[in-house]
Amino acid sequence: MNGYSPEIGGIFVFRGSLAAREEHSLPIWGYAGLGRHHDVIEVFRGNWALLCGDGIAPHVGRACYPGTGILPCMTASSLSLAADKTLLRQLMAIDTTSGQPSDPALKVIAEKLQAAGCEVHRLEGAADGRGNLIAIAGPVGLEGGLTLSGHIDTVPAGEGWSSDPRTLIERDGRWYGRGSCDMTGFVAMATNLLAEAASLQRPLALVLTADEELGSIGAGALVDQAAKLPPLPKSCIVGEPTSLRIVRLHKGHLKFTITVSGATGHTGTPVSGVNAIDGLRHALNSIEAERSRLEELRTKESAAFFRVPFPVLAPVRLSAGCAWNVIPSEASVDIGLRVLPDQCASDVLDDIRTALAAAMQGWPLAWSLEIYNDNPPMCTQRGAEIDVACRALVGQDQDIGVSYCSDGGHLTKLGLECVLFGPGDIAVAHRPDEFVPIEDMVQARGYLKRIISARCGGNS
């Protein structure tokens, strides 16, 4: 008897005891002592599959191989997919909404990777309970290798879901749930890839951050702790949802607030105060002029941004006043500036300050501009090792830039060369009924295994 049949294909387990398996010398991955209800098959290298009933595997859809006691089991790729789904379900059930404690999810990952023999570092993040994690499989500190990067936090679930957003649901070839696409699905896959890796010749690292959705605050904390970090492979894949396309460029996102002071008084007597909204109007006129100017600007990398090839300046929130009959003593506007990858955000902001100073010259009271958060752009050069390797892997020649941000900008400050590549479509992220196509997960895993093998060696 043999453990593999070309008529059926796949991996099989012998129906019976370990002694019976050894008696027949079957080259198979595991065994099961089958009982009346559910029995677990032990599969090579710690993967698990479940058989139901008296030895039939209905979830596979095949009974015993005719004339033998051999059961068809899941293929290696199916086992990997099942492991990714299991870990994704576990992580999704933990509320990792940005700004809330996400350490419980990192604890699950850390324990899994430590059990697999990886070197694991738990690092401080922006606040207690919202830390970062770095794990390394294989030899630490050698040249070459690969870094995988993801964020553990998600945006709030919100309303409008067809099912519980914290429960993984499979339907229509998709996995639904908050974070399935952005980007807990990738995190689960990357974690398992490290746990599965064996006999690596070069390091395979995983960087997981908190509070990416709040402006990559966790990644910024890593930059602040750069001297304390273990050595990381320079080539890095950030697993944001890109529909399996390679993205080497993204814009930055600098958030700032303009505040204008006035003097309170009674609205029935306008001269009793100074309305701060009047001053803010001057500031907004200046911002509008700067917005129009920036929309005409193009840089070398603009061509990669097909829909929006220019920097974006966008007022997003106004605040002023406390009552109908009180002259506002303060008015403010929150503004987002998304610079192109090959622009310097501070230079652009200096131009905006200069224009504002001119517009506010006649205002009798104070005004200010304060930066809230600066999430830098990612500008990996075309021809960088990771760019060339990944585009060759998927057969892509085109340069693609995106207008959303990632941790890639901060990781660049750590000396990493990053591309974005991951399963799922960014268009369904941050929305009710977020999902990732299962086929995307299968393909992404296959691509990542190939590049891990190429860059790290060993058995990935």
Contact 2, 26 (CB under 8 A): yes
**Cα 256 to Cα 353: distance, rounded to the nearest angstrom:** 11
pTM of the predicted structure, to 2 decimals: 0.83
pLDDT in tens, 250-293: 999 999 999 999 999 999 999 999 999 999 999 999 999 999 99
Pairing verdict, β 31-32 and 12-15: parallel
What residue type is assigned to position 372 of the chain? Y
Pairing verdict, β 253-261 and 367-375: antiparallel
- What confidence tier does 458 reach under pLDDT thresholds 50, 70, 90? confident
Query: What pLDDT does 75 receive?
Result: 66
Contact 15, 51 (CB under 8 A): no
Positions marked catalytic: 153, 212
pLDDT of residue 398 exceeding 90, the answer is yes
pLDDT in tens, 181-194: 999 999 999 999 99
Query: What pLDDT does 81 receive?
Result: 93
Structural domains of the chain ordered from first start? 12-74 (no CATH), 81-250+377-456 (3.40.630.10), 253-375 (3.30.70.360)
* Residues 6+ away with beta carbon under 8 Å from 155: 97, 98, 178, 182, 213, 429, 430
Cβ atoms within 10 A of the Cβ of 50, count?
A: 13
pLDDT in tens, 84-139: 999 999 999 999 999 999 999 999 999 999 999 999 999 999 899 999 999 999 99
